[in-house]
A and B are shown apart, each in its own frame.
Chain A
Amino acid sequence: MIPKSFYKILSYKFYIPFSKKTTPWLFTISAILLLIGVVWGLLFSPPDYQQGNSFRIIYIHVPAAIFSTLVYLFLALMSAIYLIWRIKLAAMLARATAVLGAFYTLITLVTGAIWGQPTWGTWWTWDIRLTSQLILFFFYLGYIALDQAFEDRETADQMTSIISLIGLIMVPIIKFSVYYFESIHQTSTIFASGGPAIPPSMFYPLLLTIFATFVFSFAYVGKKSLNLIYREQLQRHYMRQQ
């Protein structure tokens, strides 16, 4: 049912040279996109008529927030694939995303707090959107801690995969909290009904930084998973020597 060429892609032998070749390009592309987006957003976008210049924080807050949840979706998907089909590369890719996702979540929380201080008049409030994002951060930390707690690789992969699937509940809560509950946080600007509720001069740089984050995520995970494969190869090598 699954074509043979698909299994080839899933093997380390194919993945290692592929990742080695593509990641430098992905890092370069994401750096260029980010630089253009940030310079445009900081220098050329007009100030917001209500928020003044503090709105410029969205060029990092929004991409980080979007990918804090998208990276988690990817992590959970890879964990599910590992649990169902026992594909080792899937577990490897899931592990490679955890630190990146934790950083995205942390950036979201910190930049959001800094923006909230002048806009809402408070750094932090136990609002459902903010709290669910914080819980997602704890799921990432829990995943990382659990990943390192077990000496046996298979046990660790099993446990982290299960934890990541439990944490999956946070993703829809974060996404829909602003629609179904009373939240201090505004609803989505980009996916507003009737098109993006933001003028093009502010929106284009945001699209650039979002796309930069998208490419960067692939670059990071590509390189990080390679490191994890190296680590595994070394461990197996030392085991054989004993």
Chain B
Amino acid sequence: MSFWSSITEKMAFNSLSEFLAMGKHGIHVWMSYGFFVLCLVILLVSLFRETTSLEKELKREGLLDDTKTEK
């Protein structure tokens, strides 16, 4: 309890609703972070999907030598 309250004391907000409201800038802050997260997800999903499909194709063509490249 005292540990948790020592953390919450240092926070800039007193409640969750205050945190979500961000003063009068809730829309701006969350729109920015939302856009950032969206970009990150698009970047990473396309990157990892590309790797998976390429490795599958390489394996099918017998070009990916697992014994050599891994471990």
Shortest CB-to-CB span from B30 to chain A, Å, is 10
Interface magnitude class on chain A: 35 or more
The answer for the CA separation of A231 and B50 in the assembled complex, in Å, is 10
A25 within 8 A of B: no
Contact B63 A237 (CB under 8 A): yes
The A-contacting residues of B in range 1-47, CB under 8 angstroms, are 10-13, 19, 22-26, 28-29, 31-33, 35-36, 39, 42-43, 47
The answer for the CA separation of A103 and B48 in the assembled complex, in Å, is 16
List, in ascending order, chain A residues with CB within 8 A of B48's CB. Answer: 223
B interface, CB within 8 angstroms of A: 10-13, 19, 22-26, 28-29, 31-33, 35-36, 39, 42-43, 47-48, 50-51, 54-55, 57-58, 61, 63, 69-70
List, in ascending order, chain A residues with CB within 8 A of B58's CB. Answer: 230, 233-234
Shortest CB-to-CB span from B61 to chain A, Å, is 6
The answer for the CA separation of A99 and B43 in the assembled complex, in Å, is 8
Shortest CB-to-CB span from B58 to chain A, Å, is 6
A45 within 8 A of B: yes
The answer for the CA separation of A187 and B13 in the assembled complex, in Å, is 29
Contact B12 A44 (CB under 8 A): yes
The answer for the CA separation of A106 and B32 in the assembled complex, in Å, is 12
A100 within 8 A of B: yes
Query: How many CB-defined contacts (below 8 Å) exist between A and B?
Result: 94
List, in ascending order, chain B residues with CB within 8 A of A71's CB. Answer: none
List, in ascending order, chain A residues with CB within 8 A of B57's CB. Answer: 234
Contact B39 A107 (CB under 8 A): yes
List, in ascending order, chain B residues with CB within 8 A of A110's CB. Answer: 32, 35
The answer for the CA separation of A107 and B63 in the assembled complex, in Å, is 38
Contact A52 B63 (CB under 8 A): no
Known A-B contacts A52-B23, A107-B39, A233-B63; A46 and B12 likewise in contact (beta carbons under 8 Å): yes
Contact B25 A230 (CB under 8 A): no
The answer for the CA separation of A89 and B24 in the assembled complex, in Å, is 49
Contact B23 A234 (CB under 8 A): no
List, in ascending order, chain B residues with CB within 8 A of A117's CB. Answer: 28
A196 within 8 A of B: no
Contact B12 A57 (CB under 8 A): no
Shortest CB-to-CB span from A29 to chain B, Å, is 15
Known A-B contacts A43-B12, A53-B25, A234-B61; A227 and B32 likewise in contact (beta carbons under 8 Å): no
The answer for the CA separation of A53 and B10 in the assembled complex, in Å, is 16
**Max chain B CB contacts within 10 Å: which of A17, A44, A47, A111?**
A111
Shortest CB-to-CB span from B35 to chain A, Å, is 5
